[in-house]
Amino acid sequence: METHLSVESCIESTLNCLKRRADYSDGPTIAQFMILINSIVENPKELTELSNEQLANLGICMSCIMTSNFVRNYPRYYDWKIGEVVTSVGFYAFMKQLDNSYLLHSHYPAFILLIHGGRDYFANLLQDTILINKKKISFYNILDRIELAGSEQKKYDIAKHFEYMLLARCKEIGYLDQNLDSWFKDILYEIDSIEQRLQTKDSLPQTKQVYSILSNLFFKGLIPDCCKID
């Protein structure tokens, strides 16, 4: 009988592996990333049963995966898109800590690294969860095509605005290093245009809606549709 590795145990093993490595491209680390991702897609409901500390460790693991070459070198894992899986799970882990008032100041940079490095994947998650239902879109219907085209701009606007809010918070609490500061200035340059298009200065309600949808999906043992290979 195949032995089931719990998400909890895989998080711990991955974190221990990361602590021993300066470079995440070696064979043992890549193998551990695969084991962790497999445990998640096989048992997503376990994500909802993690403690705040385990969620914090999971967020760090997902952020490290995103900032390594792993997603680029291994974009697919069986029926799953690695970038979308890592972004969805990492976002859920950090947002649940934020919702529980547990997100440590020192972990904000890791959250930003995940969202910045996974911007395209995060934008796809936004589109597929709160902006549009692609399953109901008909490419033969011009109004549907217009709606889909409009969501393309909006998903990136929300993704950038949420990153901006995280960066602003990071600056406020004194954890904005040189790299993060350059990202902050880049988005600051276009933030007025983004907020005019979104007609809001607060993207947190929209991202909380995504978190709520992810929570329900994971509780049911499901992975978001955007994570599946078409």
Ordered DSSP codes for 127-154:
IIIII--GGG--TT-HHHHHHHHHHHHH
* pLDDT the model gives residue 117: 96
pLDDT tens by residue, 8-60: 999 999 999 998 877 788 899 999 999 999 999 999 999 999 999 999 999 99
* pLDDT the model gives residue 143: 39
- Can you give the pTM of this predicted structure? 0.91
- In a 13 Å sphere around the CA of 51, the CA atoms on its Cβ side amount to 5
Q: Closest Cα partner for 211 from 66, 135, 111? A: 111
Q: For residues 164 and 191, is the Cβ–Cβ distance under 8 A?
A: yes
Q: Which two tokens stand for residue 8?
A: 């909890």
CA distance 91 to 94: 5
CA-CA-CA-CA torsion for 76, 24, 118, 52, nearest 10 degrees? Answer: 100
Q: For residues 229 and 80, is the Cβ–Cβ distance under 8 A?
A: yes
* pLDDT the model gives residue 25: 84
Kindly give the parts of the chain with pLDDT less than 70. 1-3, 132-151
* pLDDT the model gives residue 142: 41
* pLDDT the model gives residue 53: 96
List all residues 6 or more positions away from 185 whose beta carbon is below 8 Å from its beta carbon.
none
Q: For residues 20 and 191, is the Cβ–Cβ distance under 8 A?
A: no
* pLDDT the model gives residue 146: 42
* pLDDT the model gives residue 3: 60
* pLDDT the model gives residue 4: 75
* pLDDT the model gives residue 148: 46
| Amino acid, single-letter form, for residue 52 | N
